[in-house]
Amino acid sequence: MKDIYRKINLALENSGYSRLQSNTDFRLLGEGAWHKAYLVKLKGNHRLVIRFPKKQAYGKSVSFNWQEMFSEYSGNGLYYQQANAVMPGICPEEYEFHVDPDLR
């Protein structure tokens, strides 16, 4: 729990947000093969989802590759923009990402 709190605060700082005040300001949303997702509550009831890539997927180690991760996450942002242009609100309006080997 302490490591997740540290990682969430690092992710928030990397994206220009304030640190959490308490380790009760987030909760695990769920987990897929490639990521764990957390719901984070900021000041003013602003909410974000933060996803951290796993070090293992499908029983195999996933090596950190900055270029691959940057490409994948950039593509997600473009998809959200296009989907929202077709059907407003279908995807998150806010989308930011930061690729960092310490956030795995």
Q: What is the mean pLDDT of residues 73-91?
A: 93
Which residue matches tokens 């928030």?
12
Q: What's the predicted TM-score (pTM) here?
A: 0.83
Q: What is the pLDDT of residue 45?
A: 83
What gap in Å lies between CA 97 and CA 74, rounded to an integer?
A: 8
pLDDT single digits (tens) 22-69: 999 999 999 999 999 999 999 888 889 999 999 999 999 999 999 999
Q: How far is CA 100 from CA 25, 53, 62, 70, 79, in A?
A: 22, 10, 14, 10, 22
What gap in Å lies between CA 26 and CA 71, rounded to an integer?
A: 27
